[in-house]
Structures are given as structure tokens and as C-alpha cells.
Amino acid sequence: MSRLLRPASRIVSAASVRPVARSAVQSFPRVPAIVQSRGYAKESGNKEYTVRDALNEALAEELELNPKVFVLGEEVAQYNGAYKVTKGLLDRFGEKRVIDSPITESGFCGLTVGAALAGLHPVCEFMTFNFAMQAIDQIINSAAKTHYMSGGIQPCNITFRGPNGFAAGVAAQHSQDYSAWYGSIPGLKVVSPWSAEDAKGLLKAAIRDPNPVCVLENELLYGQSFPMSEAAQKDDFVIPFGKAKIERQGKDLTIVTQSRCVGQSLIAAEALKKKYGVEVEVINLRSIKPLDVESIVKSVKKTHRLMAVESGFPAFGVGAEILALTMEYAFDYLDAPAARVTGAEVPTPYAAKLEDMAFPNESVIENYAKKLLRL
């Protein structure tokens, strides 16, 4: 039932102000001015886009450009998308290109993989990546490994997308971050957008990439607005995989982070500057696989300190990987042991105050950075 009810509640919340009680949302209702002002040229052509609109535009443009592209998933067509990401696409492109699937992840994921093997370019939407666990065999064994197993004769151009990571108040089964899971698989590419530009550029790149790509979106970001540059508004805008983006320049500490934690880290960085005058460099990974080790090492050479911030489970996670890579490639440049802030090792609890304790927030990031910097 939660499947049916939750999206419905989303329409309400998307259309109006988010409920006050949802702490995760409440603490971060819009991108603060400090974030918006950074990293983007103040061109007159900038426009405000929500992440949702950016994803929608990316899908529409790619559907328009390539007849081989189609979107298939639960509630993507008539319902306009459980989270409205596919809103209007059915009306514009018809039921051949925008297809409601039954609630059978393993089956429809396998079907889209087959269509990709046959030369089409499917966009397989999971209502959330939590449900994709039912289909993870198809993603990994049927999609990611086939090109290699076939000796390079059978490509699989497919995009798996949907919200990933924790949302607000949806408890353990709907709150997991799969970055580390998919990020560990050779043959897959995995991206994790934060801003509207990230979302559009990375999704378009994913659809065009001839390999299977997982686009791990974040439900809590869908409604957030970001400026979108004039270049990014065009239909040829793509963001290359494997390139991180320095969202904030700094010299005292490198924070490597992804998805929603990018915004939180930027706020923490601003607070650290205000209170202690330190400059924290914030790297938005954008791409989980391939991972931009070079940018991380370059930054560490400059700041001599590294902190990874992510909201997944700590064990064997993205943070763990970044720390290991830093050990391997940048140990000599570190002035302090690299550190990580992650989700807590606990199935996500429902009650708001417990949920707060399970995921990184601005103050946890700020305080741990402060400790690392011995401030």
C-alpha cells in the first residue's frame, strides 16, 4: 500500500509547502543563497529550475532527439510519474514512448534490458531504488556484465533511474542509499546528481552513454530550486562522467561528497568560514563510477585534510572507498587522518528525532570538520 499512498502524498507536498513536521525537509527547504551564488556565473540567462524540472527536461529532450529512447516504469505515464519527474511526457510523446509498467521490478527491468540488448535505449524508472533490489540481478548480471561476457559484441545501452537514499519519514525499507552497491560493479556507470544542472547534464549523458548507467537521484532534492545556466538550458548540454565539480574553493579542508550531502556540506563550510575563518573545499562527486580520484588528490595536495560526507551506511560505503583511495594516492599529503561522516549503522527509524540521528546534517558535518581541523 505504501507504494500507492506515498506518491499521492507527494503530489500534495510538491504542489504546496512541505509539511512542517518533516524535519529533514524543514531544515533545508530551499537552497540557501550562499549555495546559489557559488559556482555559477551571474549571467542574465540563468533560470531557476527545480531538480524535478531539470530531469523532466532531460528526458523530454532525449525522447525528442532519439526515437530509440523510451521511458518505462511504474506510474510514469498516466499518473505523470510517482514523483512527477515524467510529467507531461505521455501527452507529448505518446504511449509508445512513455510506458506504464506493472509493479514487477524484476520483470520490467529485465524487459528493458532485453530491449537495450536489441538496440533500443530504454530509460527504466524505478519508483525508488529500494524497489530495484528486486531487479538488481537484471541490472548487474544481465545489463552490466553482458558486454564483457560477450567479448564486446553485445552492448547494453540502458539508463536505470529513480530516487535513491533516504527520504523523510518513510522508515527502513524506503530509505537506503545504493551508491556503494552499484558503484562496486565493473560494467556499470553510476551518477549521483545534486543540483538541477547536475541532474539534467548527468541524466542526458546517461541516456547517451552506450553502457548501462544508474542515475541515483534524491527525492528530497526533487523540489529544490537551483540556477540553471544558459548553456545548461540547451538540449545539447551533457556533463561528462568521472569528473567531480568543485562547488566551493578552499585551502584548509577537502570535503568530498555527493547528492544531497553536497548542499549540507556547503552550508557547513560557510558556517566554518564565518565562525573560524577557515576555507573548506567542497567537491561534488557527481559521478560515483567512475570516481574522479584525480580531483580528490589534487584537492588534498592543496588542503592536506580530507573528509568524506555521504548518507549511506558506513560499512563498505562510498566514504570508505574515498578514504581508502586517499590513503593509496594521497597519504603523503595528509596532515591528519582522513575522516568520514556517513549515515548511522542502523535501519532507518520512523520517528523524526530518531531519523535525524541516522543521517548527516549540517551541524554534524560542521562539528566533525571542526574537530578534524582542531579548531
Question: What is the radius of gyration, based on Cα positions, of the chain?
Answer: 20
Of 174, 217, 281, 321, which one is the catalytic site residue?
174
Whether a cis peptide bond, with omega within 30° of 0, leads into 290 is yes
117/278 with CB nearer other proteins: 117
Q: How many residues bind other proteins (CB under 8 A)?
A: 47
Binding of other proteins by 153 (CB under 8 A): yes
| CA distance linking residue 173 with residue 131, whole number of Å | 9
Instruction: Please report whether residue 220 would count as binding other proteins according to CB under 8 A.
Output: no
Comparing CB distances to other proteins, the nearer of 136 and 365 is: 136
Name residues contacting other proteins, limited to 106-125 (CB under 8 A). Answer: 106-120
CB 271 within 8 A of CB 366: yes
Q: Is 121 a catalytic residue?
A: no
Write out the binding residues for other proteins, residues 230-289 only, by CB under 8 A. 241-242, 289
| Per annotation, catalytic residue among 61, 62, 75, 105 | 105
In 80-196, the DSSP E strands lie at: 98-100, 121-125, 159-163, 189-191
Question: Residue type for 72, please?
Answer: L
Buried b (16+ CB within 10 A) or exposed e, 197-227: bbbbbbbbbbbbbebbbbbbbbbbbbbbbbb
Between 172 and 211, how does the x/- string for binding to other proteins read (CB under 8 A)?
--------------xx-x-------------------xxx
Neighbours of 321 (CB within 10 A): 21
Closest approach of other proteins to the CB of residue 122, in Å: 8
Task: Count CB-CB contacts under 10 A for residue 42.
Answer: 7
147 is catalytic: no
To other proteins, the closest distance from the beta carbon of 62 in angstroms equals 16
Judged by CB under 8 A, does residue 65 bind other proteins? Answer: no
- 297 lies in the binding site for other proteins (CB under 8 A): no
Neighbours of 249 (CB within 10 A): 13
264 burial (CB, 10 Å; 0-12 / 13-18 / 19+) is buried
Among 52, 87, 147, 200, binds other proteins (CB under 8 A): 147
Shortest Cβ distance from residue 153 to other proteins (Å)?
Answer: 6
Q: Is 374 in the site for other proteins (CB under 8 A)?
A: no
For binding to other proteins (CB under 8 A), which residues are involved? Answer: 70, 96, 101-102, 104, 106-120, 137-138, 141-142, 146-155, 186-187, 189, 209-211, 241-242, 289-290, 294, 328-329
> So which residues are the catalytic ones?
105, 174
